[in-house]
Amino acid sequence: MSQPLRQTNSKEIALSIEDLSFSYSGKKALDQVSFDIQSGECTVLLGPNGAGKSTLFALITRLYDARSGRIELCRFDIKKQTSKALARLGVVFQQSTLDMDLTVMQNLGYHAALHGMGHKLAKQRIQEELERLNMYDRRKEKIRQLNGGHRRRVEIARALLHKPSLLLLDEPTVGLDVPSRQDIVEHVHSLAKDDNIAVLWATHLIDEIYPDDRVIILHKGQVKATGTVDDVLQQTATSSIKDAFYVLTQGLQG
């Protein structure tokens, strides 16, 4: 039986991870990782390449099966109540998973059908999300006709069709030009604030962090710092997230 959703400062815990560890061929990729993600907040998972960010996302999405630790998504244990947990999850992976030869509408319609939406509801949700991303006028274009930034917008729209409680984004701006990156960063932050969605954004780009974001710094599979931007600066006695990141990653070596 699922436990009541825990709350912190009247905000619901959308994702709870406790003592999560994972190894590849005996080498630890994650080592007793624990943190909570609250509704209505954008939490940035910051770490260098190889820190364990993608492994963590693979465990949350059940691409990998965690043998040690616990993951709860909107109070549902992801191992014991997988379908109910994943139904509350929207994901944008680092590598595009759109069908390049289908139109925007066809890609989104297929995804809506997988979530059991009827035609009328799917059409309404698709229009809503594409309009929010200024992509509705391009709904009949094939994905291969779109640039990288527009493809990312389609993927974000797809991830939001079923009204998830948690949105995971795995380095979604990699390879995009600066204006496209800024547009996506602004849109995702607006989603957290306006729609009360919990966002976990994995990146290694410090300029994607807003002052009121929460931050988790992951290094070599371990959480080195977590909290608000100010919390992390106080923990590291630094004046910028860039300096804090250096202290907690590069500064730990040697």
Residues 201 and 80 reside in one and the same domain: yes
8, 107, 166, 216 from 38: Cα distances, Å:
8, 30, 9, 13
163, 189, 209: which is the final residue of a domain?
163
Of 29-33, 44-48, 171-175, 236-240, the poorest mean pLDDT is in 171-175
* pLDDT of 2 strictly over 90: no
Whether 245 and 127 map to the same domain: the answer is no
Please count the structural domains in the chain: 2
Position 4 scores a pLDDT of 39
What's the rounded mean pLDDT across residues 96-124? 95
Judged on CB neighbours under 10 Å (0-12, 13-18, 19+), 89 is: buried
pLDDT per residue over 3-43, tens digit each? 434 444 457 899 999 999 999 888 899 999 999 999 999 99
pLDDT of residue 252: 54
In percent, how much of the chain has pLDDT > 90?
A: 81
Range of the domain at 152: 98-163
Question: For residue 207, is it within any domain?
Answer: yes
Is 2 contained in some domain? no
Confidence of residue 94 (pLDDT cuts 50, 70, 90): confident
| 49/149: higher pLDDT | 149
